[in-house]
A and B are shown apart, each in its own frame.
Chain A
Amino acid sequence: MLDAVDLVAIFDGHRVLDGVSLHVEDGEILAVLGPSGAGKSTLLRIIAGLLLPDSGTVSLDGTDITHLSAHLRNIGMMFQDEQLFPHLDVAANIEFGPRMHKWPAPDVAARVDELLGIVGLDGFGGRRVDRLSGGEKKRVALARSLAPRPNLLLLDEPLTGLDRELHDRLLMEVGDVLRATSTTAILVTHDRDEATALADRVVQWSDLQRSRE
């Protein structure tokens, strides 16, 4: 259960977030729908711990984590442009999280195999990531972010930049994977169809902002 309360972020004098509040139940997939450049990515980065809000709090299961370092939160994130580690192969990308969390080696290996199966990339473990197609990269990014069993998964426009057919197919698959792993997730997107297809609940970005007098 995640609660973000009254988050404010100011960059170069510009209020990117102006009192944003948000609540997600365990196991729920929430979609935040809003235009590009509205500050949705900033919200996710604050929840992930990559940015510090100027004010407001983030709490996970009732514990205030606003000032907790990103690596101690176990909140996963799937980036718009994947951000796969270019010097590591597919398996090494996926096992990165479990290794950072010091899982025992056999568990790590089993987890990688399991996830390659879940995202439909059996046998891709040894591939270089810069040789993958766009869709394959998205699958690896999803597998990598799920690997350490995050408390919460943040999806930042995860399927942008794919052609329509691939987009729709992956959309179904991502939904299936999230539900199969009963992952709590927040999806931000500008695509209404994507939001309704994937999420249990859709909120408008404008509704999250504090009503201003």
Chain B
Amino acid sequence: MDNNRAALNRLPRWFVALLATAPVLFIGVLYAWPVATLMWTTVRRSRSGISPFDHAGRVIWFTMWQAAVSTVLTLVVAIVPTYVLARFRFRGRRLLLAVTTVPFVLPTVVVGAAFIALLPVSWHGTAQAMIVAHVFFNIAVVVRLVGSMIALIPHDLVGAARTLGASPSAAARVIVLPLLRPALWSSGAVIFLFSFTSFGVAKLLGGPAHPTLEVEIVRRATQLGDVRGAATLSLVQLGLLGVVIVWTTRRQRRSAVELHGTAAPRRPRTHRERVMVGAVCAAVAVIVGAPIVALVSRSFDVGGMWSLSAWTKLGNAELRPGAGLGVDPFAAVGTSLRFAAVAAVIATVVGFLAAAAINASRRLGKLLDAGLMLPLGTSAVTIGLGMLITFDTPPFDWRARWWLVPLGHALVAVPFVVRALLSVLRTIPRDLRAAAATLGATPIRAWWEVHARALRRPLLAGAGFSAAISLGEFGATTILTRSGSETLPIAIGRLLGRAGALPRAQAFAMATILLVLATVIVVISGSHERLVSDDA
């Protein structure tokens, strides 16, 4: 019934098909084909000296347990700040919320560099350095996902438990915790996936002694030339990720409870509550601030001396006559900005077409939606590797083309753009388009006026977020990059790998530049509001 009625002013089929063409091609050529090639490669290429499973067990085991420890530790560290931010209203709350999301939008290379700057040398190249950075990076996930759940638990529900004889800790254990379980599962799953596929942080902080699967895949593909081994490990990783996603989704569904209330944050009333709010503010400021302050200040520190030389010498690619730096910092900034612009345009256009098509059609929409989410569940290194081994034979030999890298970035960014646009599109009432139709607009015109125009701000936010993702992308870039067109993260990674005080200080200086660029883009485009706003 409803279908038939809606069909009257529905968009024409050919138009929806037209919208869907580009996204389908995009995902088919850049994702499905490379993944198929990865599978084919593991089966086919057999003449390689190294067994794909050499050391693999050790690497997989390490990847799993560091991800598990990172996840549990993040949940433990973040739960009290999350609770305070969701429950209490106080001056500076919105600022604090924004501050907690900062680490999450920082490029992984910046996080890695910041912790190298912060942590004592004895921690460099250790698993614990890696785990600490993962916790820093992922606190925002808990603050967002669990916080929005806490905001749904009415104050009186806890009050009811208290009047029935539950002490504050008993009420937290018996009432609040079970209600938060689905949010804890989903945020735990997200953190586990991020830590499991950690590349930038793992490479820079874990060092060669602690390779995660991602690091090992890159090592095999780029250093050992063992493409088959790398492809096999990629598929193993893809499979493990799939298992984790399915398992946690099940757990989450099973523990899901519908909450209908809302609990607006309230002012802290007792002395204890005020102390708790103060302590959380201070702790968050320290946790988020310390690595960033360390990064910036260490860029002025060359061999223990205060010096501007890391910054002043960024212009010349030579350390001293005859000794090259190996990277050109300014060229890297230019390359990064160019790639970011291209990736943002591609991701925004594809994301817009996809979101419009998904919103306009039910069955096709669901399929396209699912397809576009696949890159989210795939590690960046896998995406890069797939593209590398797919586009290496004429007429598709695109390895030397500069646009292959920003295309990879766009692939990583598209799911985020689609999510942002769909969340806005789904709030537009159906009748608005019907109203436009009664006023004489054709279906396509009505769609344009009502839907497409509503997307202006989320499109800008999506473009900004895509640009920020591109600026910081490290995994796929590491595999796809050509010498001469290094991006900032690649240049920083190289400099950090070099001995000497000056290259290190220069790496910190460039990481500072990247930090500023990413932050400025996110703030200007307003995509940070998308991360903070619904708590307003």
A residues apposed to B, CB below 8 Å: 11-12, 45, 48-52, 69-71, 73-77, 79, 81, 83, 85-87, 96-97, 100-101, 130, 144-145, 147-148, 150, 154
If A11-B267, A50-B159, A69-B167 are given as contacts, then 4 extra A-B residue pairs at C-beta distance below 8 Å, sorted by A number, are A71-B170, A79-B156, A86-B257, A100-B170
Q: Which residues of B contact A144 (CB under 8 A)?
A: 160, 164
Q: Which residues of B contact A74 (CB under 8 A)?
A: 165
B497 at the binding interface (Cβ < 8 Å) = no
Given contacts A86-B257, A86-B258, A100-B170, contact A48 B159 (CB under 8 A): yes
Q: How far is the CA of A198 from the CA of B297 in the complex (A)?
A: 71
Q: Which residues of A contact B258 (CB under 8 A)?
A: 86, 130
Q: How far is the CA of A101 from the CA of B157 in the complex (A)?
A: 18
Closest to A50 in B: B159
B residues apposed to A, CB below 8 Å: 154, 156-157, 159-168, 170-171, 174-175, 178-179, 257-259, 261, 267, 269-270
A77 CB, nearest partner CB in chain B, Å: 4
Q: Which residues of A contact B165 (CB under 8 A)?
A: 71, 74, 97, 100-101, 148
Q: Which residues of A contact B154 (CB under 8 A)?
A: 81, 83
Given contacts A71-B170, A86-B179, A86-B257, contact A50 B163 (CB under 8 A): yes
- Asked if residues A70 and B170 are in contact (CB atoms below 8 Å), the reply is no
Given contacts A12-B267, A51-B269, A86-B259, contact A71 B159 (CB under 8 A): no
- Asked if residues A85 and B170 are in contact (CB atoms below 8 Å), the reply is no
Q: CB within 8 A of B166: which of A11, A79, A100?
A: A100
Closest to B170 in A: A100
- Asked if residues A85 and B157 are in contact (CB atoms below 8 Å), the reply is yes
- Asked if residues A70 and B162 are in contact (CB atoms below 8 Å), the reply is yes
B292 CB, nearest partner CB in chain A, Å: 35
Given contacts A52-B270, A86-B259, contact A71 B156 (CB under 8 A): no
Q: How far is the CA of A77 from the CA of B259 in the complex (A)?
A: 21
- Asked if residues A148 and B164 are in contact (CB atoms below 8 Å), the reply is yes
Q: How far is the CA of A75 from the CA of B270 in the complex (A)?
A: 21
Q: Which residues of A contact B175 (CB under 8 A)?
A: 85
Give the secondary structure class of A's interface: loop
Q: Which residues of A contact B261 (CB under 8 A)?
A: 81
- Asked if residues B156 and A70 are in contact (CB atoms below 8 Å), the reply is no
- Asked if residues B267 and A71 are in contact (CB atoms below 8 Å), the reply is no
Q: How far is the CA of A100 from the CA of B165 in the complex (A)?
A: 5
Q: Which residues of A contact B179 (CB under 8 A)?
A: 86-87
Q: Which residues of A contact B178 (CB under 8 A)?
A: 87
Q: How far is the CA of A51 from the CA of B273 in the complex (A)?
A: 13
Most buried by A among B163, B259, B267: B163
- Asked if residues A70 and B257 are in contact (CB atoms below 8 Å), the reply is no
A138 CB, nearest partner CB in chain B, Å: 14
B258 CB, nearest partner CB in chain A, Å: 6
- Asked if residues B164 and A96 are in contact (CB atoms below 8 Å), the reply is yes
- Asked if residues B269 and A100 are in contact (CB atoms below 8 Å), the reply is no
Q: Which residues of A contact B170 (CB under 8 A)?
A: 71, 100
Q: Which residues of A contact B267 (CB under 8 A)?
A: 11-12
Q: Which residues of B contact A86 (CB under 8 A)?
A: 179, 257-259
B213 CB, nearest partner CB in chain A, Å: 37
Q: CB within 8 A of B161: which of A73, A75, A81, A96?
A: A96
Q: How far is the CA of A87 from the CA of B174 in the complex (A)?
A: 10
Closest to B164 in A: A97
Q: Which 10 A-B pairs have the closest CB atoms?
A: A100-B165, A97-B164, A70-B162, A83-B160, A77-B163, A87-B257, A50-B159, A83-B156, A101-B165, A86-B257
Q: How far is the CA of A18 from the CA of B163 in the complex (A)?
A: 24
Q: How far is the CA of A76 from the CA of B162 in the complex (A)?
A: 9
Q: Which residues of B contact A101 (CB under 8 A)?
A: 165
- Asked if residues A145 and B163 are in contact (CB atoms below 8 Å), the reply is yes
A154 CB, nearest partner CB in chain B, Å: 8
- Asked if residues A79 and B160 are in contact (CB atoms below 8 Å), the reply is yes
Q: Which residues of A contact B259 (CB under 8 A)?
A: 86
Q: Which residues of A contact B270 (CB under 8 A)?
A: 52
- Asked if residues A100 and B156 are in contact (CB atoms below 8 Å), the reply is no
Q: How far is the CA of A96 from the CA of B178 in the complex (A)?
A: 14
- Asked if residues B163 and A75 are in contact (CB atoms below 8 Å), the reply is yes
B293 CB, nearest partner CB in chain A, Å: 36
Q: Which residues of B contact A154 (CB under 8 A)?
A: 163
A143 CB, nearest partner CB in chain B, Å: 12
Q: Which residues of A contact B171 (CB under 8 A)?
A: 71
Q: CB within 8 A of A52: which of B159, B163, B174, B269?
A: B269
Q: How far is the CA of A86 from the CA of B174 in the complex (A)?
A: 12
Q: CB within 8 A of A81: which of B156, B166, B174?
A: B156
Most buried by A among B156, B171, B270: B156
Closest to A45 in B: B159
Closest to B154 in A: A83
Q: How far is the CA of A74 from the CA of B166 in the complex (A)?
A: 10
B402 CB, nearest partner CB in chain A, Å: 54
Q: Which residues of B contact A130 (CB under 8 A)?
A: 258
Interchain Cβ contacts under 8 Å between A and B, 27 examples: A45-B159, A48-B159, A50-B162, A69-B162, A69-B167, A70-B163, A71-B163, A71-B164, A71-B171, A76-B164, A77-B160, A79-B160, A81-B261, A83-B154, A83-B159, A85-B157, A85-B160, A86-B179, A86-B258, A86-B259, A96-B166, A97-B165, A100-B164, A101-B165, A145-B163, A147-B164, A150-B163
Q: Which residues of A contact B166 (CB under 8 A)?
A: 71, 96, 100
